[in-house]
Amino acid sequence: MNGDTVIDVHGLTKRFGDKTAVKDVDLQVQEGEIVGFLGPNGSGKTTTIRMICGLLRPSGGDGTCLGHDIVHEAEAIKREVGYMTQRFSLYDDLTIRENLEFVGRLYALPGLHRVVDETLEGLGLKSRQRQLAGTLSGGWKQRLALASCIMHKPKLLLLDEPTAGVDPKARREFWDEIHRLADDGLTVLVSTHYMDEAERCHRIIYIAYGTIVARGTASEIIAHSGLETFVLAGRGAAPAARALEGMPGVEQVAAFGQAVHVVGSNRRALAQSVHEVAARYPVDVEAGDTTLEDVFIRLMSEAQVAGNG
């Protein structure tokens, strides 16, 4: 990361009739960063991404993407961005090579045959280049989709739920490739629901009900959450968990295998409730580590209350 700002938007807002999908979003992303964009379904992630890359005109706010004005220079932005949607959007009845050749012609890429060869080789698709896209597994379709997004050498890669429906091995290989691309200077903004993927990002931005509610590294967000966690383990963990529901200081109770994680922001009240219940059941209690998932469940609950308020 060299410090050059790739995305710089302020007060970004999008309204659809009476509904405000995105409200006053400020977002800055530096060159070479991998930024995770998290939030529940309908939180405004996709709408924000589409405004940034020029596919959707904002109702309010302004800013730049790759130095281009997002309102007045949308066409220039599109030429320098790779955008991978959640759903596979290439042609099932074309081969891998034919799909890449088609995309290359859309960008009027010079030396198309050479560029396609290099792209196939770079993403390990050469041995399957004659295979119809419709016969590929989810992981190979994902790899083909990524290839089509980077073959024109974009400066910014926008990924909208890119690993939905692929197996863990394919997900890991995909993220290894994303980090390799970022090491070469590509900037990545990725929306995801997976906490392990969020932790692989350099920074995380959490959006709920169209508003950004948290941002920072995974460790920073956890540290700033103010949440405390206790772990209960033993034969009595399940009934102890039921007894803890709704007690003072207890905000979350979740089972992890044969153990139960109890989370809250008021450590004194939480500890008192946990030890009071633990005395009635055959369980061991120890302090645990708060997870990113714990924090995001808390943020989601808070945003839901605010959104309904």
> Topology of 5-221 in CATH?
Rossmann fold (3.40.50)
Q: Which of 83-87, 91-95, 187-191, 267-271 has the lowest mean pLDDT?
A: 83-87
Mean pLDDT, residues 3-26:
94
Give the DSSP H or E segment for 147.
helix 138-150
Please write the tens of the pLDDT for every residue from 204-258.
999 988 999 999 999 999 999 999 999 999 999 999 999 999 999 999 999 988 8
CA nearest neighbour of 7 among 64, 46, 88, 82: 64
Q: Looking at residue 280, what is its pLDDT?
A: 95
Round to whole Å and give the CA distance between 31 and 129.
32
CB contact set of 74 (below 8 Å; sequence gap of 6+): 54, 55, 57, 68
Environment class of residue 20 by beta-carbon count within 10 Å: exposed (0-12), middle (13-18) or buried (19+)?
A: middle
HEC profile for 171-209? HHHHHHHHHHHHHCCCEEEEECCCHHHHCCCCEEEEEEC
Q: What's the predicted TM-score (pTM) here? A: 0.88
Domain 228-289 part of CATH 3.30.70.100: yes
Beta-bridge partners for 96: none
Please write the tens of the pLDDT for every residue from 78-130.
999 999 988 888 999 999 999 999 999 999 999 999 999 999 999 999 999 99
**239 and 52 Cβ atoms separated by less than 8 Å:** no
For the cut 60, the answer to whether the pLDDT of residue 303 exceeds it is yes
Please write the tens of the pLDDT for every residue from 28-84.
999 999 999 998 888 899 999 999 999 999 999 999 999 999 999 999 999 999 999
For the cut 70, the answer to whether the pLDDT of residue 1 exceeds it is no
CA 143 to the chain's CA centroid: 18
Q: Domain-by-domain residue ranges, the chain? A: 5-221, 228-289
Q: Looking at residue 3, what is its pLDDT?
A: 64
**29 and 5 Cβ atoms separated by less than 8 Å:** yes
Q: Looking at residue 194, what is its pLDDT?
A: 82
For the cut 70, the answer to whether the pLDDT of residue 307 exceeds it is no
